[in-house]
Structure 1
Amino acid sequence: MSVKRWCALLILLLLPQQIPAQGFAGLGTEAEGFAVPERGTQLEFPADHGAHPAYRIEWWYLTANMTGPDGTPYGLQWTLFRSALAPRDGDGWSAPQLWMGHAAVTSPHTHHVAERLARGGIGQAGVTADPFEAWIDDWQMAGPDFGQLRLTASGPDFAYDVELTAKGPIVRHGDEGFSVKSAAGQASYYYSQPFYDLAGTLSLPGGDVEVTGTAWLDRKWSSQPLAEDQSGWDWFSLSFQTGEKMMGFVLRGASDFTSGTWIGADGKASALPDDALKAEPLDWHEVAGRSVPVRWRVTVPERGLDATVTAINPDAWMDTSVPYWEGPVTIAGSHEGIGYLEMTGYGD
């Protein structure tokens, strides 16, 4: 067995068993000695672009809406997850950090997915803040800073190489980056760079495709961001033709919890409190033996939003170690636009 395959097997054996029920790394379990987000903490850049090993879980999560020369819409995903077995960092095989990478390219009729698994401390995966670099094997998101990045990844039947240029400010969600996830007070630190312009190349079975578009990068870290009764979430990142944007999520549980951020065209962020956002499933689709909602009515009355959000490809299932649905969407109604939808916890 190769070293790489042994690392993958080891990580799958060590990842907490709550994964099927609550997504990555047992998000509803106790913090058990890990650091916990505190309201009033000031996020600091570029330092917070890097890893936070005192916290149990963390991710660098980029999605993009793109168009090819013939007008075909495409979606792109690049994600690096960090999960800690203990609240510390270290070198070599004793390092308690586990890493997982997901990459995908979605079109109206195809969905290409790849996954990488790595153990921290041996150079196979990691993140540095300044200059910024996030990598797992030969997948990379890197640049002199968060404003200018190059993104690469590949799988058995696809690859991409794109450049990202930020055209607006970083956005802090919740209370200056302290994002509450339940009525009980579980929270994460959470900020985004939702203003990237994108240009580059997709390498697909039919040949290379030059694409242009926009991208949205999410950053989160925490140790217990879900309550015990929460089984999954529906997360929307929506970009409207007006230049405004909205991030919103529904955490499903005994009583659903919602939160979001309305982002002006100038980058000014306004927090949406619990219940300001409503998301109602309209159509369901069978994929990978699960029934998932792929068309939604999303409303925020105080902002005049009443829109239908529809998946470009209903079969955008991430058949990875931690399975979920992730894909590009269109927006129609009171607001027009494009965006991304992520859904976890369906049929687990």
Structure 2
Amino acid sequence: MSVRSIAIAFAVTTMASLCASQAAYQGFAGLGSAAEGFSVPQPGRPFRFPADHGPHTDFRIEWWYLTANLEAPDGTQYGAQWTLFRSALAPREATGWSSPQLWMGHAAVTTSEDHFVAERISRGGVGQAGVVAKPFSAWIDDWQMKGRTTPGADQLAELSLTATADEFGYDLRLSATGPLVPQGDNGYSLKSAKGQASYYYSQPFYAVSGSLSLPDGDIAVTGKAWLDREWSSQPLAEDQTGWDWFSLHLDTGEKLMGFRLRDEGEGFTSATWITADGRPTPLPAAALKIAPVRTAKVAGRQIPVSWNVRIPSRGFDVTTQPLNDQAWMSTSVPYWEGPIAFEGSVSGRGYLEMTGY
């Protein structure tokens, strides 16, 4: 998240109390608190690769977030998620148990009938979790996102992705067919009218092949994946309570990233239109219009699982449907995330994340 990932960055030492209330949601990892002592994003900073593929320990929160829309040879649809979050107690790094860096991993596989979820938590400085920019590697325990690029290519151009849990696992290969894409104003992504922001870029052009391991056996899959990279120190305003985030692969080859951060009014929206060859166009404020179409009872609450997504200036008007209404991430900070399909002015597939419900 993208914006989507911001609220899920975490503080392990206070996790139990933070999960107790909506007020905790705002305070989680400093989402609604001051960024005192940490660096804050500023407009005009160019990305520096491969260094920016690695951690930025002077910022409070950061993530490496991948979602994949997958298909078996018989046409059955699946979704997979792999995420590594970093959260800092202080704006520095150190070795051993004195490290202030905290890490959390989420992995999930979604089918039309089931949603499998696992979580890993680690303290930094002891080798259990971390990220190296070159050669690229991100890991927590035996979960790994590893670069396999050729010399001279971007470190994220070729990846292997693995995760295992009691009921599921996956082993995927990803090959980028397009460029990295900056979100917002050349990578400076506003999150509120009050100026909260993050640095944010994506790789939305992965072709995927590999296998899923499910209770009924292994399944060969192919598909498309989207990686989000984001870091910040104070990405939410004090009156923001959650968000709805979409990453869409259009059948035309174009891509769309869009989100709404909810508050007491109409909320704050942002969107980027990406051409099939990877040229991004940040859309004007409020260009994105989203409205719930259908709700479902999920984890004891009503959640909007089907949405109308419009960009009137581009004639874009689609309705999304989830592969599985019950794509609930029952993790330390719970949220909804799963694969979706959409139809209307154009069709395609993508992912939806919703927090704060």
| Cα-Cα RMSD | 1.2
In 2, the alpha carbon distance for the partners of 1:125 and 1:13 equals 16
In structure 2, which of residues 306, 314, 318 is the aligned counterpart of residue 295 of structure 1? Answer: 306
In the comparison of the two structures, how many residue pairs are matched? 336
1:45-99 per-residue CA deviation (whole Å, 9 max, x = no partner) reads 1110000000000000000000012111000000000000001011000100000
Q: Which residue of the other structure, out of 213, 232, 247, is the alignment partner of 2:242?
A: 232
Q: Confirm or deny: 8 A CA contact 2:70 2:222 kept in the other structure.
A: yes
CA distance in 2, matches of 1:173, 1:212: 26
Match of 1:215 in 2: 225
Contact 2:199–2:230, Cα closer than 8 Å, also in 1: yes
Residue in structure 2 matched with residue 6 of structure 1 by the alignment: none
Give the conservation status (yes or no) of the 8 Å contact 2:15–2:332.
Answer: no
Q: Which of 317, 320, 324 is the equivalent residue of 1:306?
A: 317
Given candidates 94, 107, 110, the residue that maps to 2:111 is 107
Q: Which amino acid aligns with 1:141?
A: M
Between 18-27 and 194-203, the greater mean CA deviation after superposition: 18-27
Matched, 1:96 2:107: no
- Does the CA contact (< 8 Å) of 1:56 and 1:85 recur in 2? yes
Say if 1:17 and 1:26, in contact at 8 Å, map to a contact too: no
Q: TM-score, normalised by structure 1?
A: 0.94
Residue 26 of structure 1: how far off its partner (Å)? 3.4
Query: In structure 1, what is the Cα distance between the partners aligned to 2:99 and 2:16?
Result: 17
Q: Is 1:30 the equivalent of 2:34? A: yes
* Unpaired stretches in structure 2, ≥5 consecutive residues: 1-10, 149-154
1:266 partner letter: D
Residues 18 and 25, structure 1, Cα contact 8 Å, conserved in 2: no
Percent of matched pairs sharing the same residue: 63
Partner of residue 262 from structure 2, selected from 252, 272, 286: 252
Letter in 2 for 1:311: P
1:175 aligns with 2:179: no
Is this contact kept in 1: 2:128–2:141, CA < 8 A? Answer: yes
Alignment of 1:242-281 (within 5 A): 242-255=252-265, 256-281=267-292
1:23-48 alpha-carbon deviations (Å, 9 max, x no partner): 85231111021000000011111110
Q: Using the TM superposition, give the Cα deviation of residue 254 of structure 1 relative to its aligned residue in structure 2, in angstroms.
A: 2.2
Structure-2 change in CA distance of 1:187 and 1:18 (3 Å): farther
1:70-81 equivalent positions in 2, closer than 5 A: 70-81=74-85
Q: Under a length normalisation based on structure 2, what TM-score does the superposition of the two structures give?
A: 0.92
- Quote the residue 2:211 is aligned against: 201
**Aligned residue in 2 for 1:330:** 341
- Contact kept, 8 Å, 1:22 with 1:345, in 2: the verdict is no
1:13 to partner: Cα distance:
3.1
Q: Deviations over 1:82-137 (max 9, x none)?
A: 00000101100010000000000001111100000000000000000011100000
Q: Determine the structure 1 residue equivalent to 2:64.
A: 60
Cα 1:88–1:41 change in 2 (3 A) is: same
Q: Give 1:154's match in structure 2, choosing from 159, 164, 171.
A: 164
Letter in 1 for 2:173: E
Partners of 1:15 and 1:25 within 8 A in 2? no
Q: Distance in 2 between matches of 1:12 and 1:120?
A: 11
Distance 1:109 1:62, change over 3 A: same
3-state SS of 1:297 partner: strand
Structure 2 equivalent of residue 342 of structure 1:
353
State yes or no: 1:87 paired with 2:78: no
Moved more, 88-97 or 21-30: 21-30
Partner residue of 2:3? none
Amino acid at match of 1:170: L
